[in-house]
Structure 1
Amino acid sequence: MKKIKYYYNPNTLRYEKLETPLRVKLLRALGFIAGSLVTALIIVSIAFQYLDSPKEKILRQQYEKASENYDVLSGHLRKLQQQMAELEKRDNDVYRAIFEASPIPDSARVKEMEKNKEIQLVQAMDADDLYSDVVSTLNNLNKRVAYQNKSYDDIGGFIKNKEVLLACTPAIQPVSNKDLNRIASGFGYRIDPVYKTVKMHAGLDFAAPQGTPIYATANGTVQQAGNTGNGYGNHVVINHGYGYETLYGHMFRIKTSAGKRIKRGEIIGYVGSTGKSTGPHLHYEVHKNDKKLDPVYFFYNDLTPEQYDRLLKMAAASNQSFD
């Protein structure tokens, strides 16, 4: 029930009913509405500043998830960059070791074409699709890196084994022979100096003054060192592995012992004329899997093509051997 208000009118000396004009009522209503609107605006502005709307909450969650994904992807990318840098270094080392060249990678040839395709593809993606595509690309790249890494490990092993094999393969002349004038008798059937009959001469004879240094022609282990009465006099046999052996006969003095590890170019003795010999010289043999080979084919490391051709002709001449 609405209350009726009265006021005392001093002019009429009585209480009269209080009636509010319509204009005042409208002004009051407008004031109330304006105050409410201002208050609402203040509350909304504060709420928008400190509180998230539902859409903003979703966007914030997406942003936080994207940030986490970005940190994970950044970590993967750093690892991949380190791995790729290592692979590039090993790739260059492998090519330099084998081909002595720097090949152009396939990625460089198609770089511009792929770049344009990638830009168009990325522009058509939203955030989730882009993230999924990046993850897929990284997984694929991880697999390729792992496979390539294994491939280079295999190649590295092949190179190391090849280096060992080359170091253990006879490749130099056993005495200093720059002028190529010390080849006295070659491999093959020659006249025996003692029996004067044609016999198989299974090595090369290097004529040299007594005391001339004799060098190991490859890395290996001394198998024999001494005089065993087999006609070679003081001699040394080196086992190089991979089926290779070399024999150095008729030494004046031996400068090594059985079981010792030898490097190519190391002095193992000195030229002499011990055993079945008609003068100071070195009898040199190369064996592969117990088969005697012509040593002249194992001098490729210290001769030019012209020198090697001349040496072949000299070793092929028919003459009398020194032993």
Structure 2
Amino acid sequence: MAKVKYHYDSETLSYKKIERKRRTVFTKFFGSVVAFGLAMILGYVVLSRFFETPGEKVLKREYEFLKLNYASLEKKQAEFEHVLEDLQVRDNNIYRTFFELNPIPEEQRTAGFGGVNRYKSLQGFEDSKLVTDITENMDILSKQLYIQSKSLDEIVKLAKNKEELLAAIPAIQPVKNEDLTRMASGYGWRTDPFLKTRKKHYGMDFTAPRGTPVFATGPGKVTRADQSASGFGKHIRIDHGFGYTSLYAHLSKYNVRKGQKVKRGDLIGFVGNTGRSQAPHLHYEIRKNKERINPINFYYGNLSPKEFEAMQKAAQIEGQSLD
């Protein structure tokens, strides 16, 4: 109950009740409320500057935890990048080389993302750069992993055909060692026996007596058995598949015909001296996708390491070829 106040009137020598105006009461009350509110706000500002609320403490702990996780994520990302880089090097230099595939260009593997700003929503915060950098690096890493995954898919597919490929390509010597007089000339620059000038020799010459058996070095189909090609005389060509073909030149006679299928080791003809030849021998070539390659790498099927080493040394001598 509100207190009643009086004041003494000296003229009437009596006490009179003090009447309080409502406006004055309201003004005083409102002023008190405002003053209290300002005091509370000021107190909160002062206290919040020097003291943390429980909610702020929780948010701060979460923020520090996130920063710690970002640092850990950066470290793990660096480890992933190192592992991926090692896999990319192996992919280009071993796996793709083994299957005769072109390496994936570095600029294709490490390309970023052009166009619009993909990370606009991450900007404008205290640690925007940290978050943006990690997100961008993760995107690039994901792209590199996708490219590598596709490459390995391609290699796995080729590996399934590798056994069939190894069974098909030329893999033995066309003339048996016991029948050889010598390995006369290897692949590379040699002296032409007729022009006496250096000329690229695209096969290997095996000297042997006329009539020495010549064997198919891999399974396939005979595509030619004639003497219409310039310089080769009587010769045979076999298509082994997978882009590989073998050629046997300067024969004395054939033991196969065009269109015939042969197996590795089948007798296909006999050593001779037909065509552009200086002495009885077999000129042997291997072609991959129509490009002539060194046959020295295709004798793993029937030569011992010692025999192969001896053949390599003989093939490297820059003497005179026989054709």
TM-score, normalised with respect to structure 1: 0.50
Q: Give the TM-score normalised by the residue count of structure 2.
A: 0.50
